[in-house]
Structure 1
């Protein structure tokens, strides 16, 4: 895995500003997606789920309310420290690098809300999928919820301003060297901040290549949180179910 200085996500995701900027995420939509997904996978109450790159644990907490035994892991110490307040006998959180497989085995491993494609090297992407494979029980399912990079490219909003909690975020987007870049700048309490989110513009073809190299099989491909079929031109998401 690349050195810490190259890991933009380790810095940005660990700041309070990341969570301020994205505080308007649709929790109702996320909950409905978890209900549909677990029902589609025929998961039963008491089954084990790994929420890979869980952030502050919004999906983990909801999955736990559905009766699942959930482990949430993330690279951000601040996010995990926050999430730990919600722990119980069937919900736990810990810091973890998703390139490295956990010792435990799960009925399902979920990687949600475009928490993939951050790495600089193809090898780390493949390592992550191999790790998911190792973390699955026999017959278990891995799920990657990614953006549809073709849709993003054709609907790119190059510039916008968002004011959240009194902070004015200036956002610039572009696609360069097959990466989707989002530059975020703002000032708060007399200090200027600049962060850049960088996600590889992976396609279904790319994922199929990764899956082949990792030795897993793609079972289903959906294009939104209602689990509609994936269409390259119109789908906003690329949701992959494999094992």
Structure 2
């Protein structure tokens, strides 16, 4: 039976296959990014950070090891259940919809690794930025780490076959109606699966409009995890600092 969902992130992120396909994500790169980001923001040990759409908690766990009081939230119950094994007095995980404000104030709210722009309702993008702003304390900073749409589209690999843990994933990528799609087909235990990732192709100019509507101030823009200057054509990431 083919498996799919309109709210693709609610179903796909909750499967073990999502984590199998992406298990080789670069943890060293992720930790370097957190080092660079917390240094840039001059966050002091013990300050509170909200990791928004935290997945299985790899960024949250590392930030906590750096000495921060971290709350990781995600819509995926399975991911939060997994991440909860790492909890301690200054690290906790909760199921939470990032379109809605959290019940606390933070020195920083991080939305990392393109965990944005996949909503079924376009207004949820604006709602999320408003929620981030409302979750910040007086000195707090919001951070959105998104893909650089221009770079991704110009370097899009239309088709790819990837084998992970004995599962062969057939991946198809394309751009349609302002969204970047990734179709993922595979078979496991004689059952066929089909999931579609869909992320809105949000440009820097689009984000600026969201920030204006949310009454948020865009403070800085970076193009990679080393926090180098953003270049529209060549930068792999679009990292936005705001409050």
How far the C-alpha of 1:212 sits from its partner, in A, is 0.3
Rounded to whole Å, the distance in 2 between the matches of 1:238 and 1:102 is 24
Output one character per residue of 1:12-35: Cα deviation in whole Å (capped at 9) or x when no partner: 000000000000000000000000
Is the aligned partner of 1:108 residue 2:108?
yes
Rounded to whole Å, the distance in 2 between the matches of 1:158 and 1:172 is 6
**Structure 1 residues 79-158: aligned runs within 5 Å:** 79-158=79-158
Rounded to whole Å, the distance in 2 between the matches of 1:120 and 1:188 is 28
Is the aligned partner of 1:170 residue 2:175?
no
Q: Aligned residue for 2:11? A: 11
Rounded to whole Å, the distance in 1 between the matches of 2:159 and 2:6 is 25
Rounded to whole Å, the distance in 1 between the matches of 2:25 and 2:122 is 29
Rounded to whole Å, the distance in 2 between the matches of 1:153 and 1:84 is 36
Q: Aligned residue for 1:200? A: 200
Rounded to whole Å, the distance in 2 between the matches of 1:186 and 1:238 is 31
Is the aligned partner of 1:55 residue 2:55?
yes
Q: Which runs of 5+ in 1 are unaligned?
A: none
How far the C-alpha of 1:120 sits from its partner, in A, is 2.7
Rounded to whole Å, the distance in 2 between the matches of 1:102 and 1:136 is 10
Rounded to whole Å, the distance in 2 between the matches of 1:123 and 1:229 is 29
Rounded to whole Å, the distance in 2 between the matches of 1:119 and 1:167 is 28
Structure 1 runs of 4+ with >6 Å offset: none
How far the C-alpha of 1:170 sits from its partner, in A, is 0.3
Rounded to whole Å, the distance in 1 between the matches of 2:75 and 2:118 is 12
Q: Which runs of 5+ in 2 are unaligned?
A: none
**Structure 1 residues 8-47: aligned runs within 5 Å:** 8-47=8-47
Rounded to whole Å, the distance in 2 between the matches of 1:104 and 1:33 is 25
Superposed CA RMSD in Å reads 0.6
Rounded to whole Å, the distance in 1 between the matches of 2:84 and 2:34 is 21
Rounded to whole Å, the distance in 2 between the matches of 1:216 and 1:113 is 21
How far the C-alpha of 1:122 sits from its partner, in A, is 2.7
Q: Aligned residue for 1:186? A: 186
Specify the SS of the correspondent of 1:85.
helix
How far the C-alpha of 1:139 sits from its partner, in A, is 1.7
TM value normalised by structure 1: 0.97
Specify the SS of the correspondent of 1:6.
coil
Output one character per residue of 1:206-241: Cα deviation in whole Å (capped at 9) or x when no partner: 000000000100000000000000000100100000
